[in-house]
Chain A
Amino acid sequence: MSNWTKIANLEDIPRLGSRVVKRNGQADIAVFRTEDDQVFALHDKCPHKNGPLSQGIVHGHKVTCPLHGWNIQLADGNAIAPDEGHAPCVAVKLENGEVFLDV
């Protein structure tokens, strides 16, 4: 069962940037906006040493973790080779300029 919750308008997230969604007691979610105005959501923890991915530099459909520079694929949360690891994804959708998360 999907549980779509509106979290923000697209313009509330900076292009090539992100916002953090805090949930009571659960892992933070990083919501990214790429240059082509697509949105992606991942758990805000790098698979390497739990760095906050939301604070990284976004380029293409990737983000670079601010702590040690791992590159993570936004679409599937996978680390880009040669690094290996995975940040869990959260379903996200964009409708009429509004961003929804499935939480």
Chain B
Amino acid sequence: MEMISDVYRGFRSLLKGMGVTIRHFFRKPVTVEYPRERAVVSKVQRNAIVLIEKDDIGSHNCIACLQCEKICPSNCISITGSRKDGLAFKRPDTFDLNFALCSECGLCLDVCPTDTLGYSKQYDKAGYSREDFFYDLLDQWKATEETALGTLREIERKKKEEREARRKADAEAKAKAKENDDGDEKA
């Protein structure tokens, strides 16, 4: 008797399960047919790092401080930089990223003092060999480098002139104040 009720309950549970799967049959599929459709990715998705354009310069603002190279736990960034005439900060000559070692931790973005590092929007990069993953971050900025240096020199020059003007104004104000004091004393 118990066996019959067990069989009945078991059979009913199987039918209930099949009902669930049949209901799923009539639902919209959840898959995205890549590459015909592309999934929408989030704005902060982490991919390889790139140098981001800073609006007032028209190029990136890396100053080759090597902070990202020092903090990378996987040693995947190597930068060389040098001082250019007329600029207070260095400018990078080479900026190489070995993306095969990158763990996308985001620490390099945290320490960048000029906030010029960001994530690339390409999430489906592929390669046939290890060398395909050696990225040169300065490649996209080579064409505009001369103009950017010119802009940076302009900005530096303007800053210097403003500093000079302010110093002059401060000195004149001080001299005038001193004259007034002397004048008061005499009077």
Say whether A and B bind each other: no
Residues in chain B within 8 A of chain A (CB atoms): none
Residues in chain A within 8 A of chain B (CB atoms): none
